[in-house]
Amino acid sequence: MTKIVLVGAGSLQFGTGMLGDIFQSTHLSGAEIVLHDINLAAAERTLHVAQNHISAHDLDHTISATTDLKSALQGARFVVISIEVGDRFALWDLDWKVPQQYGIAQVYGENGGPGGLFHSLRIIPPILDICQQVMDTCPDATVFNYSNPMSRICTTVHRKFPDLEFVGMCHEIVSLERHLAPLLGVDRSEISYRAGGLNHFSVMTDVTYLRDGSSAYDDVRAKAAAYFGSKPGYSEILQASRKTGASIETEGWMDVDLSQIETVRPWSDRWLFKHVLETFGALPITYDSHFGEYIQWAHDCSDHQGILDFYTYYRNFLGKTDPVIEDTLKERVVPIMEALTGAPSYEEAAVNIPNKGYIPNLPDWICVEVPAIVDENGVHGISVDIPAGIRGLLSNQIGIHDMTAEAILNESRDLAVQALLVDPVVTKSKGMDTLVDHMIAEQSPWLDYLK
Protein backbone atom coordinates (compact mmCIF):
# COMPACT_ATOMS: atom_id res chain seq x y z
CA MET A 1 0.00 0.00 0.00
CA THR A 2 1.32 3.43 -0.98
CA LYS A 3 0.92 6.27 1.50
CA ILE A 4 0.56 9.78 0.08
CA VAL A 5 0.50 12.93 2.21
CA LEU A 6 -0.93 16.14 0.77
CA VAL A 7 0.39 19.14 2.71
CA GLY A 8 -1.82 22.17 2.19
CA ALA A 9 -4.85 20.03 1.32
CA GLY A 10 -7.19 22.54 2.94
CA SER A 11 -7.09 24.33 -0.40
CA LEU A 12 -10.04 22.83 -2.26
CA GLN A 13 -8.49 23.60 -5.64
CA PHE A 14 -5.22 21.83 -4.84
CA GLY A 15 -6.81 19.08 -2.75
CA THR A 16 -9.55 18.06 -5.14
CA GLY A 17 -7.28 18.36 -8.18
CA MET A 18 -4.66 16.06 -6.67
CA LEU A 19 -7.25 13.61 -5.37
CA GLY A 20 -8.90 13.37 -8.78
CA ASP A 21 -5.57 12.44 -10.33
CA ILE A 22 -4.81 9.85 -7.62
CA PHE A 23 -8.28 8.29 -7.84
CA GLN A 24 -7.86 7.78 -11.61
CA SER A 25 -4.66 5.79 -11.18
CA THR A 26 -5.09 2.01 -11.16
CA HIS A 27 -1.44 1.74 -10.09
CA LEU A 28 -2.21 3.70 -6.91
CA SER A 29 -5.39 1.78 -6.15
CA GLY A 30 -5.77 1.21 -2.43
CA ALA A 31 -3.44 4.07 -1.52
CA GLU A 32 -3.64 5.62 1.92
CA ILE A 33 -4.07 9.39 1.57
CA VAL A 34 -3.59 11.83 4.42
CA LEU A 35 -4.81 15.42 4.04
CA HIS A 36 -2.71 17.77 6.15
CA ASP A 37 -3.38 21.42 6.79
CA ILE A 38 -2.83 23.78 9.72
CA ASN A 39 -6.53 24.64 9.31
CA LEU A 40 -8.39 21.46 10.31
CA ALA A 41 -11.78 22.76 9.17
CA ALA A 42 -10.39 23.41 5.69
CA ALA A 43 -8.79 19.95 5.54
CA GLU A 44 -12.04 18.33 6.67
CA ARG A 45 -13.92 20.21 3.95
CA THR A 46 -11.67 18.56 1.37
CA LEU A 47 -12.01 15.26 3.23
CA HIS A 48 -15.79 15.42 3.01
CA VAL A 49 -15.69 15.94 -0.77
CA ALA A 50 -13.21 13.06 -1.11
CA GLN A 51 -15.21 10.65 1.03
CA ASN A 52 -18.33 11.31 -0.99
CA HIS A 53 -16.40 10.63 -4.20
CA ILE A 54 -14.86 7.42 -2.84
CA SER A 55 -18.27 6.18 -1.75
CA ALA A 56 -20.00 7.14 -5.01
CA HIS A 57 -17.36 5.39 -7.13
CA ASP A 58 -16.74 2.41 -4.83
CA LEU A 59 -13.00 3.15 -4.56
CA ASP A 60 -10.67 1.28 -2.20
CA HIS A 61 -8.57 4.23 -1.03
CA THR A 62 -8.42 5.19 2.62
CA ILE A 63 -8.34 8.88 3.50
CA SER A 64 -8.05 10.99 6.62
CA ALA A 65 -7.35 14.59 7.66
CA THR A 66 -5.09 15.92 10.40
CA THR A 67 -3.15 18.93 11.60
CA ASP A 68 -0.43 16.67 13.05
CA LEU A 69 2.26 16.55 10.37
CA LYS A 70 4.51 14.12 12.25
CA SER A 71 1.80 11.49 12.48
CA ALA A 72 0.73 12.16 8.89
CA LEU A 73 4.27 11.49 7.64
CA GLN A 74 4.70 8.13 9.38
CA GLY A 75 5.39 5.58 6.63
CA ALA A 76 4.81 8.06 3.79
CA ARG A 77 6.13 7.18 0.33
CA PHE A 78 5.16 10.47 -1.27
CA VAL A 79 4.65 13.97 0.15
CA VAL A 80 3.11 16.72 -1.97
CA ILE A 81 3.48 20.32 -0.77
CA SER A 82 1.28 23.18 -1.92
CA ILE A 83 1.17 25.89 0.71
CA GLU A 84 0.99 29.63 1.12
CA VAL A 85 1.17 31.64 4.33
CA GLY A 86 -1.10 34.40 5.54
CA ASP A 87 -3.46 36.24 3.21
CA ARG A 88 -1.88 35.21 -0.06
CA PHE A 89 -3.22 37.99 -2.27
CA ALA A 90 -2.71 40.75 0.28
CA LEU A 91 0.91 39.64 0.65
CA TRP A 92 1.37 39.28 -3.12
CA ASP A 93 0.08 42.84 -3.49
CA LEU A 94 2.88 44.00 -1.18
CA ASP A 95 5.45 41.93 -3.08
CA TRP A 96 4.43 43.57 -6.33
CA LYS A 97 3.46 47.14 -5.46
CA VAL A 98 5.83 48.16 -2.63
CA PRO A 99 9.05 47.65 -4.68
CA GLN A 100 7.45 49.73 -7.45
CA GLN A 101 6.95 52.54 -4.92
CA TYR A 102 10.70 52.38 -4.26
CA GLY A 103 11.39 52.87 -7.97
CA ILE A 104 11.82 49.28 -9.18
CA ALA A 105 10.05 48.60 -12.47
CA GLN A 106 9.05 44.99 -11.95
CA VAL A 107 6.22 43.73 -14.14
CA TYR A 108 4.87 41.21 -11.62
CA GLY A 109 5.70 40.05 -8.11
CA GLU A 110 5.51 36.28 -7.62
CA ASN A 111 8.66 34.43 -8.70
CA GLY A 112 11.34 36.73 -10.10
CA GLY A 113 12.63 40.17 -9.19
CA PRO A 114 12.16 41.78 -5.76
CA GLY A 115 8.66 40.35 -5.44
CA GLY A 116 10.05 36.87 -5.90
CA LEU A 117 12.63 37.57 -3.20
CA PHE A 118 10.07 38.63 -0.58
CA HIS A 119 7.78 35.76 -1.55
CA SER A 120 10.76 33.42 -1.06
CA LEU A 121 11.76 34.94 2.27
CA ARG A 122 8.22 34.39 3.49
CA ILE A 123 7.40 30.89 2.28
CA ILE A 124 10.69 28.98 2.26
CA PRO A 125 11.16 28.79 6.05
CA PRO A 126 7.90 26.83 6.63
CA ILE A 127 8.77 24.56 3.70
CA LEU A 128 12.17 23.91 5.28
CA ASP A 129 10.34 23.02 8.50
CA ILE A 130 8.19 20.51 6.59
CA CYS A 131 11.28 19.03 4.95
CA GLN A 132 12.99 18.70 8.32
CA GLN A 133 10.05 16.67 9.57
CA VAL A 134 10.23 14.50 6.45
CA MET A 135 13.92 13.87 7.10
CA ASP A 136 13.15 13.01 10.73
CA THR A 137 10.13 10.79 10.02
CA CYS A 138 10.23 9.33 6.48
CA PRO A 139 13.64 10.20 4.98
CA ASP A 140 13.18 7.85 2.02
CA ALA A 141 10.00 9.61 0.85
CA THR A 142 9.94 11.60 -2.37
CA VAL A 143 8.69 15.15 -1.85
CA PHE A 144 6.97 17.06 -4.63
CA ASN A 145 6.64 20.83 -4.33
CA TYR A 146 3.97 22.93 -6.04
CA SER A 147 4.54 26.17 -4.12
CA ASN A 148 6.21 29.20 -5.66
CA PRO A 149 8.75 30.73 -6.15
CA MET A 150 9.60 27.27 -7.43
CA SER A 151 13.26 27.55 -8.41
CA ARG A 152 14.29 29.50 -5.28
CA ILE A 153 12.40 27.06 -3.03
CA CYS A 154 13.98 24.01 -4.66
CA THR A 155 17.47 25.55 -4.67
CA THR A 156 17.27 26.42 -0.96
CA VAL A 157 15.79 23.07 0.07
CA HIS A 158 18.52 21.13 -1.75
CA ARG A 159 21.18 23.35 -0.18
CA LYS A 160 19.95 22.52 3.34
CA PHE A 161 18.86 18.93 2.68
CA PRO A 162 21.10 17.54 -0.10
CA ASP A 163 19.97 13.96 0.57
CA LEU A 164 16.25 14.67 0.35
CA GLU A 165 14.43 13.53 -2.79
CA PHE A 166 12.76 16.86 -3.54
CA VAL A 167 11.23 17.59 -6.97
CA GLY A 168 9.51 20.79 -8.04
CA MET A 169 6.40 20.44 -10.19
CA CYS A 170 4.60 23.09 -12.25
CA HIS A 171 1.91 22.70 -14.89
CA GLU A 172 3.05 25.81 -16.80
CA ILE A 173 4.69 23.54 -19.39
CA VAL A 174 1.22 22.91 -20.84
CA SER A 175 1.12 26.59 -21.83
CA LEU A 176 3.54 25.42 -24.50
CA GLU A 177 2.27 21.90 -25.14
CA ARG A 178 -1.37 22.79 -25.68
CA HIS A 179 -0.42 25.20 -28.50
CA LEU A 180 2.20 23.30 -30.52
CA ALA A 181 0.00 20.82 -32.37
CA PRO A 182 -2.68 23.31 -33.50
CA LEU A 183 0.02 25.83 -34.42
CA LEU A 184 1.73 23.25 -36.63
CA GLY A 185 -1.56 21.81 -37.91
CA VAL A 186 -0.82 18.27 -36.73
CA ASP A 187 -2.10 15.85 -34.13
CA ARG A 188 -0.34 15.85 -30.74
CA SER A 189 0.81 12.30 -31.38
CA GLU A 190 2.79 13.45 -34.44
CA ILE A 191 5.30 15.67 -32.61
CA SER A 192 7.62 15.61 -29.63
CA TYR A 193 9.16 18.58 -27.86
CA ARG A 194 11.51 19.60 -25.06
CA ALA A 195 11.97 22.81 -23.08
CA GLY A 196 14.32 24.04 -20.40
CA GLY A 197 15.42 26.94 -18.20
CA LEU A 198 14.20 28.04 -14.80
CA ASN A 199 10.62 27.67 -13.65
CA HIS A 200 8.43 30.26 -15.40
CA PHE A 201 11.58 31.31 -17.28
CA SER A 202 12.15 28.57 -19.84
CA VAL A 203 12.01 28.21 -23.60
CA MET A 204 11.30 25.44 -26.05
CA THR A 205 14.61 23.86 -27.01
CA ASP A 206 13.39 21.57 -29.79
CA VAL A 207 10.25 20.26 -31.46
CA THR A 208 10.34 17.29 -33.82
CA TYR A 209 8.08 15.72 -36.44
CA LEU A 210 7.96 12.07 -35.42
CA ARG A 211 7.18 10.91 -38.95
CA ASP A 212 10.72 11.56 -40.13
CA GLY A 213 12.64 12.99 -37.17
CA SER A 214 13.00 16.44 -38.74
CA SER A 215 12.94 19.65 -36.71
CA ALA A 216 9.72 21.64 -36.66
CA TYR A 217 11.24 24.69 -34.92
CA ASP A 218 11.51 26.77 -38.11
CA ASP A 219 7.85 26.02 -38.82
CA VAL A 220 6.95 27.18 -35.30
CA ARG A 221 8.84 30.43 -35.85
CA ALA A 222 7.18 30.97 -39.23
CA LYS A 223 3.66 30.31 -37.97
CA ALA A 224 3.94 31.92 -34.54
CA ALA A 225 2.73 35.40 -35.56
CA ALA A 226 -0.44 34.15 -37.22
CA TYR A 227 -1.21 31.81 -34.33
CA PHE A 228 -0.17 33.64 -31.16
CA GLY A 229 -0.88 37.09 -32.58
CA SER A 230 -4.59 36.28 -32.66
CA LYS A 231 -4.84 34.04 -29.58
CA PRO A 232 -6.97 35.26 -26.65
CA GLY A 233 -5.12 36.21 -23.49
CA TYR A 234 -6.22 36.97 -19.95
CA SER A 235 -7.64 40.37 -20.89
CA GLU A 236 -10.13 38.61 -23.14
CA ILE A 237 -10.74 35.86 -20.59
CA LEU A 238 -11.42 38.43 -17.87
CA GLN A 239 -13.76 40.39 -20.13
CA ALA A 240 -15.69 37.24 -21.05
CA SER A 241 -15.94 36.21 -17.41
CA ARG A 242 -17.27 39.61 -16.39
CA LYS A 243 -19.83 39.50 -19.20
CA THR A 244 -21.15 36.02 -18.48
CA GLY A 245 -20.52 35.85 -14.74
CA ALA A 246 -18.88 32.45 -15.24
CA SER A 247 -15.22 31.57 -14.86
CA ILE A 248 -13.21 29.88 -17.61
CA GLU A 249 -11.09 26.96 -16.41
CA THR A 250 -7.50 27.94 -17.26
CA GLU A 251 -5.54 25.92 -14.67
CA GLY A 252 -4.45 22.32 -15.00
CA TRP A 253 -3.66 20.06 -17.86
CA MET A 254 -4.31 20.73 -21.53
CA ASP A 255 -7.33 22.17 -23.32
CA VAL A 256 -8.91 25.52 -22.50
CA ASP A 257 -12.25 26.38 -24.13
CA LEU A 258 -12.01 29.94 -25.46
CA SER A 259 -14.62 29.55 -28.20
CA GLN A 260 -16.89 32.21 -26.68
CA ILE A 261 -14.24 34.94 -27.15
CA GLU A 262 -14.61 36.89 -30.38
CA THR A 263 -12.43 40.03 -30.13
CA VAL A 264 -8.70 39.71 -29.36
CA ARG A 265 -5.98 42.34 -28.89
CA PRO A 266 -2.92 41.55 -31.07
CA TRP A 267 -0.44 39.31 -29.21
CA SER A 268 -2.53 39.54 -26.04
CA ASP A 269 -0.36 38.65 -22.99
CA ARG A 270 2.57 38.08 -25.34
CA TRP A 271 4.33 41.33 -26.26
CA LEU A 272 7.49 40.34 -24.41
CA PHE A 273 6.99 36.78 -25.65
CA LYS A 274 7.00 38.15 -29.23
CA HIS A 275 10.13 40.22 -28.56
CA VAL A 276 12.05 37.25 -27.16
CA LEU A 277 10.98 35.03 -30.06
CA GLU A 278 12.02 37.60 -32.66
CA THR A 279 15.24 38.70 -30.95
CA PHE A 280 16.56 35.44 -29.48
CA GLY A 281 14.88 32.99 -31.85
CA ALA A 282 13.52 30.99 -28.92
CA LEU A 283 9.89 30.38 -28.01
CA PRO A 284 9.05 31.10 -24.32
CA ILE A 285 6.76 28.55 -22.74
CA THR A 286 4.69 31.12 -20.83
CA TYR A 287 3.19 34.60 -20.78
CA ASP A 288 4.69 38.05 -20.15
CA SER A 289 3.66 38.11 -16.47
CA HIS A 290 5.83 35.12 -15.55
CA PHE A 291 8.68 35.42 -18.05
CA GLY A 292 9.05 39.16 -17.57
CA GLU A 293 9.69 38.94 -13.82
CA TYR A 294 13.26 37.85 -14.46
CA ILE A 295 14.30 40.47 -17.04
CA GLN A 296 15.39 44.03 -16.31
CA TRP A 297 14.18 45.39 -19.67
CA ALA A 298 10.83 43.56 -19.62
CA HIS A 299 9.00 46.66 -18.39
CA ASP A 300 9.61 48.34 -21.75
CA CYS A 301 8.00 45.68 -23.90
CA SER A 302 5.50 43.70 -21.82
CA ASP A 303 1.72 43.71 -22.19
CA HIS A 304 0.94 45.53 -18.94
CA GLN A 305 -2.81 45.42 -19.47
CA GLY A 306 -2.59 41.67 -19.95
CA ILE A 307 -0.52 41.27 -16.78
CA LEU A 308 -2.94 43.33 -14.69
CA ASP A 309 -5.93 41.48 -16.14
CA PHE A 310 -4.23 38.13 -15.50
CA TYR A 311 -3.79 39.01 -11.83
CA THR A 312 -7.37 40.24 -11.53
CA TYR A 313 -8.76 37.12 -13.17
CA TYR A 314 -6.53 34.79 -11.17
CA ARG A 315 -7.62 36.44 -7.94
CA ASN A 316 -11.29 36.21 -8.88
CA PHE A 317 -11.02 32.69 -10.26
CA LEU A 318 -9.51 31.29 -7.08
CA GLY A 319 -12.13 32.98 -4.94
CA LYS A 320 -15.24 32.06 -6.91
CA THR A 321 -14.78 28.43 -7.96
CA ASP A 322 -16.30 25.47 -6.16
CA PRO A 323 -13.83 22.70 -7.08
CA VAL A 324 -15.01 19.12 -7.43
CA ILE A 325 -13.16 15.87 -8.01
CA GLU A 326 -13.10 15.09 -11.72
CA ASP A 327 -11.87 12.24 -13.89
CA THR A 328 -9.61 14.63 -15.80
CA LEU A 329 -5.86 14.76 -15.33
CA LYS A 330 -5.07 18.09 -13.65
CA GLU A 331 -1.37 17.76 -12.83
CA ARG A 332 1.55 15.53 -13.81
CA VAL A 333 2.80 14.22 -10.48
CA VAL A 334 0.74 11.01 -10.40
CA PRO A 335 2.46 9.53 -13.50
CA ILE A 336 5.78 10.20 -11.74
CA MET A 337 4.54 8.39 -8.62
CA GLU A 338 3.46 5.48 -10.79
CA ALA A 339 6.84 5.19 -12.52
CA LEU A 340 8.70 5.45 -9.21
CA THR A 341 6.65 2.54 -7.85
CA GLY A 342 7.04 0.15 -10.74
CA ALA A 343 5.02 1.38 -13.71
CA PRO A 344 6.90 1.65 -17.03
CA SER A 345 9.48 4.41 -17.28
CA TYR A 346 8.65 7.46 -19.37
CA GLU A 347 9.87 10.94 -20.26
CA GLU A 348 8.37 13.69 -18.10
CA ALA A 349 8.19 17.12 -19.78
CA ALA A 350 9.30 19.33 -16.87
CA VAL A 351 10.73 18.81 -13.39
CA ASN A 352 12.63 21.20 -11.15
CA ILE A 353 15.82 19.55 -9.90
CA PRO A 354 19.47 20.51 -9.26
CA ASN A 355 21.19 21.30 -12.54
CA LYS A 356 24.06 18.74 -12.62
CA GLY A 357 25.11 19.92 -16.07
CA TYR A 358 21.71 19.76 -17.77
CA ILE A 359 22.01 23.43 -18.75
CA PRO A 360 25.52 24.70 -19.56
CA ASN A 361 26.70 27.95 -17.93
CA LEU A 362 24.65 27.33 -14.79
CA PRO A 363 26.13 25.83 -11.58
CA ASP A 364 25.16 22.32 -10.50
CA TRP A 365 23.45 23.58 -7.32
CA ILE A 366 20.85 25.83 -8.91
CA CYS A 367 17.52 24.11 -9.59
CA VAL A 368 16.54 24.15 -13.23
CA GLU A 369 13.42 23.07 -15.07
CA VAL A 370 14.24 20.32 -17.56
CA PRO A 371 12.65 17.15 -18.96
CA ALA A 372 13.49 13.90 -17.22
CA ILE A 373 13.29 10.14 -17.50
CA VAL A 374 11.37 8.70 -14.56
CA ASP A 375 11.76 5.07 -13.48
CA GLU A 376 11.93 2.98 -10.32
CA ASN A 377 15.38 4.38 -9.60
CA GLY A 378 14.34 8.01 -9.57
CA VAL A 379 13.97 11.18 -11.64
CA HIS A 380 16.83 11.57 -14.12
CA GLY A 381 17.22 14.97 -15.77
CA ILE A 382 17.85 15.34 -19.51
CA SER A 383 20.30 17.87 -20.95
CA VAL A 384 18.77 20.53 -23.19
CA ASP A 385 20.36 22.78 -25.81
CA ILE A 386 19.42 26.33 -24.88
CA PRO A 387 20.49 29.21 -27.18
CA ALA A 388 23.45 31.25 -25.93
CA GLY A 389 21.43 34.43 -25.48
CA ILE A 390 18.85 32.71 -23.30
CA ARG A 391 21.66 31.05 -21.33
CA GLY A 392 22.95 34.58 -20.69
CA LEU A 393 19.58 35.64 -19.27
CA LEU A 394 19.51 32.52 -17.11
CA SER A 395 23.05 33.21 -15.86
CA ASN A 396 21.84 36.54 -14.47
CA GLN A 397 19.85 34.54 -11.91
CA ILE A 398 22.80 32.70 -10.34
CA GLY A 399 23.67 35.32 -7.74
CA ILE A 400 20.01 35.96 -6.90
CA HIS A 401 19.30 32.32 -6.12
CA ASP A 402 22.55 31.98 -4.19
CA MET A 403 21.93 35.05 -2.03
CA THR A 404 18.24 34.23 -1.47
CA ALA A 405 19.21 30.83 -0.07
CA GLU A 406 21.98 32.32 2.06
CA ALA A 407 19.72 35.06 3.46
CA ILE A 408 17.15 32.49 4.54
CA LEU A 409 19.54 29.87 5.88
CA ASN A 410 21.50 32.52 7.81
CA GLU A 411 18.35 34.44 8.82
CA SER A 412 20.11 37.59 7.66
CA ARG A 413 18.50 40.91 6.85
CA ASP A 414 21.81 42.17 5.40
CA LEU A 415 22.04 39.21 3.01
CA ALA A 416 18.46 39.92 1.93
CA VAL A 417 19.58 43.43 0.97
CA GLN A 418 22.43 41.90 -1.01
CA ALA A 419 20.00 39.51 -2.70
CA LEU A 420 18.09 42.59 -3.90
CA LEU A 421 21.20 44.34 -5.14
CA VAL A 422 22.47 41.41 -7.25
CA ASP A 423 19.13 41.26 -9.09
CA PRO A 424 19.29 42.85 -12.57
CA VAL A 425 15.67 44.00 -12.18
CA VAL A 426 16.92 46.30 -9.39
CA THR A 427 18.55 49.23 -11.19
CA LYS A 428 19.17 51.50 -8.18
CA SER A 429 20.85 51.17 -4.81
CA LYS A 430 19.48 54.07 -2.76
CA GLY A 431 16.65 53.00 -0.49
CA MET A 432 17.03 49.25 -0.90
CA ASP A 433 17.90 48.69 2.74
CA THR A 434 14.86 50.77 3.67
CA LEU A 435 12.74 48.69 1.30
CA VAL A 436 13.83 45.48 3.06
CA ASP A 437 13.09 46.98 6.47
CA HIS A 438 9.71 48.18 5.20
CA MET A 439 8.81 44.68 4.00
CA ILE A 440 9.99 43.03 7.21
CA ALA A 441 7.63 45.31 9.13
CA GLU A 442 4.72 44.95 6.69
CA GLN A 443 5.00 41.17 6.42
CA SER A 444 5.36 40.41 10.12
CA PRO A 445 5.42 37.76 11.52
CA TRP A 446 6.57 35.97 8.36
CA LEU A 447 9.82 37.94 8.02
CA ASP A 448 10.55 38.52 11.71
CA TYR A 449 13.35 35.93 11.61
CA LEU A 450 15.53 38.25 9.51
CA LYS A 451 17.93 40.01 11.89
Q: Is the CA virtual torsion 267, 272, 273, 275 positive or negative?
A: positive
Active-site residue flag, 158: no
Distance CA 104, CA 118 (A): 14
Task: Show the 3-state SS of the chain.
Answer: CCEEEEECCCCHHHHHHHHHHHHHCCCCCCCEEEEECCCHHHHHHHHHHHHHHHHHCCCCCEEEEECCHHHHHCCCCEEEECCCCCCHHHHHHHHHHHHHHCCCCCCCCCCCHHHHHHHHHHHHHHHHHHHHHHHHHCCCCEEEECCCCHHHHHHHHHHHCCCCEEEECCHHHHHHHHHHHHHHCCCHHHEEEEEEEECCEEEEEEEEECCCCCECHHHHHHHHHHHHCCCCCHHHHHHHHHHHCCCCCCCCCCCCCCCCCCCCCCCCCCHHHHHHHHHHCCCECCCHHHHHHHCCCHHHHCCHHHHHHHHHHHHHHHHHCCCCCCCCCCCCHHHHHHHHCCCCCEEEEEEEEECCCCCCCCCCCCEEEEEEEEECCEEEECCCCCCHHHHHHHHCCHHHHHHHHHHHHCCCHHHHHHHHHCCCCCCCCCCHHHHHHHHHHHCCCCCCCCC
- Active-site choice (53, 171, 200, 290): 171
Angle of the 304-320 helix axis to the 234-244 helix axis, nearest 10:
40
Would you please indicate which residues are annotated as catalytic (active-site) residues? 171
